[in-house]
Structure 1
Amino acid sequence: MKLFKAIGVLIFIITSNTSGICQSRIFYDGLEPSENYFDILDSTLKHNQKTKEKLFDGLADRYKVRMLVQPSFDVKYIFQIDEILKDYQLEKYVVRFHKLNSRIHTLEDYDKVKVKKYEASMNEDDIELLTDVFAVVVDKTRYEKSNMDIYDGTKYLLGVWDYYGWRSGNVNSPRDPEIKSLIDVVENLIKQTQSKRNVKISEADRKILDQIISNSQRQSTSADYELVSRIIKVIEDNESKYCSKISEDNAVYVEKSLNNIKNTAAKNLAYNQFNKKDLKNLIEFVLEEFVSFNTFSEEDKREIILSESDIILENEENIKNNIFQLILKEFD
C-alpha cells in the first residue's frame, strides 16, 4: 500500500506541471522549464537577436502555433499561424512561412541575408486541430537527464498559444514518433504555403493528428500500476544484496540501469504513455547488454588471467542469475 501511495504522489507531482487540461498545473509550486534568456552566452544571444530581427519580421506577436526550424548546416525557417486582431477582437488567421535565403556565418552576413515570405489562409477546423496537437506535444515538455549532448542535427522550437496560455519546447533531432509525425504534417503545410493561397490538412495527415490526440487521452490502468508496483518491489528486495556480490563496475551499471527502469516506468505512467511491451523491451535490452559485457570466450579468459589485466571476471552464477531476469518474471 505504501508503494502505491509513493507512486501516486510522484505521478501527481509530474502531472500537476504537464497536463494542459489539468487545473492543478496553475498551482504548481515547483520549477518549470525556463525561457533560458539569462543562461544564453552573449555571442549566441546576439546571433539569436539578429536572426529574429530578420526571420520574425512581419510575424504577429500573438499566434496559434509556431514551428521554428534551425538546421546545423542549412538555412533557418519558421512556420506560424498568426491571429490578426482588430479592436481587440479576432479578425482572421493568417498562415505565414518565412525562410532565410542563405546561412548566417558571420556578423556581416546579417545585413546581406534576405527573407522569403509566404502567406496563406486555412479553415478554422484545421487550425484548431493543429493547435490541439501542438498542445498535446508541447505539454509533455520536461527536463531529462542525458549523458549525450547533440550539437549537430536540426533543432525545432514548437510553440502553442491556446486557452491555457503560451508555452513552448525545444527538441534536437527528434526520435519521438509523435513529434516527428507532427513535424512532417507541418512540413506538408509549408510546401502548400509556398504555392497556394489556401492550405489544408490532408486526410492522411488528419488521421495522424487525430491519432496523436487519441493517444494523449489514453489512461494508465490499474494493471499497469500493479505491474510497476511489483517491479519496484523486486528491485527494493534484491538490489542491495545482488550488487554486493558483483564487481564494482557491474554494480554501478546495475544500479544506474535499475534507477532508469524505475524512472521510466513511473514517468510513463504519469504521462499516460505506459506500454508494457516497451518497458519489457527496455529491461531485455539492459539484460542483454549486461550479459554481453560479462561474457568472454575461454581463450579470452585465459589471456585476461595470464596478462594480469585489470578486467575482473564476474562469477558466472551472478551473471546467470541476475536481477534483470527476476524483474522479467513479473511480465509472465
Structure 2
Amino acid sequence: MSVVVKPAEAPAALGFGSRFTGGMVLSRWTAGEGWSALEVGPHRPLELSPAAMALHYGQAVFEGLKAFPRADGSLALFRPRANAERFNRSAVRLAMPTLPVETFVDACARLVRHDAADVPRGPGQSLYLRPFMIAVEPSLGVRPAREYLFAVIASPVDHFFADGFEAIDVWCPTDQIRAAPGGTGAAKCAGNYAGGLAAKAQAVERGCHEVLWLDAREHRFVEELGAMNFFGVTREPTGGPLLVTPPLSGTILAGNTRDTLIELAADLGVRTEQRPIDIAELTNGNGGFDEAFACGTAASVVPIGSVTTAGGRHVLGDGRPGGLTTRLREELAAVQYGERPDTRRWMHTV
C-alpha cells in the first residue's frame, strides 16, 4: 500500500544531515540467533558499551539513499535494492554479517511510512536515509564481533551543497590517497571517510570545496571526488559528447548514481567510456575535456568548475555547469520526482 502525502509548505534552509525525523528502525544480530525482527521506534540515543568493538576496530558500514516526493503525491525510494546489495558487499569486506536484501528495503520503506509527514516537498528536497551497521559486542579481542546493530535513521534535506547547482572548485593532492589496491576503497565503511577529512580541510584552506583523489601507485590517475564518482565530458570523433569515467577496479566505490547516469546518457545517445583519466588531461589544457562533474546520492550531480594542483588553478571549460552535466542532472531528477516515466522500475513506492 502506497503512502500519499498532501503537499506541505517547504521548510527553509534544511541543510544536509543536520535535522532528523522522529523515527528509527532497529534490528540486532548475534552469532547464535541471527537477525531479530525489525523494530520501528523513536529516534533516540543508542546505548553502547565503551568496549563496543566498532569503537575500537572500526567495524562500521553504512549506506545512503533517498525517498522522493512524487508528482502524483506518493513517496518512493530510489533504487533501494542496489543499496542493499552494496551494503552487503561492504559488510563482507569488513567480516560483518549480511542482511537479506528484502529486509533492508523493508526497513527503509517502514521508516519512510512512519515519518511520511516529515518528507519535505520543496524544489530539490528529499528525505535522506542512512542505514548503518556497527559491531556492538563489548570486547577488546581483535577479531570479528559476535553482535551487531543495524539501524536506519532519516534526515529531511536540501541540496548537498549550499550553493545548489553551482560549479565547485576541487583540490587535487599528491601526498594523500583515499584507497589502495587490496584495501577497502570499494566498501562504504566509516574509516574510508575519516581518512579523507584531513585532505578535505586542506581543500577548504585553499578555497576549494572538495578533494579530487588520485590513484595510490602513481598519484596520476583520477579516482573519486570526495565521496562521489567522477565524470569528464570530451568529444567523439564525430563531434558529439563522450562521457569518460574511471573504471571500477577495487579502489572506487560502485556508485548507484554513477550506474544510473551511464544508462541515462545512453538514452540520450551519449556513449560512456570507462578508462583511466590522467590528471594531466584535466590540467594541461590539451585533454579536450569540455566539462566535468561528480555524482552521488547525497549531492546528485555536481558540476566541477576548476581543479587546483600544486601547479595552480585550472579552469574546465568556461568554469560553469556544462550542457551535458545539466541535462543529466535534469533527467535524473525527472525520474526521481516522477516527472518522467520510470521505464526501468528504479523507484520503489512505499
Q: In terms of Rg, which structure is larger? A: 1
Q: Which has the higher helix share?
A: 1
TM-score, with structure 1 as normaliser: 0.26
Which structure shows the higher strand fraction?
A: 2
Normalised by the length of structure 2, the TM-score is: 0.25
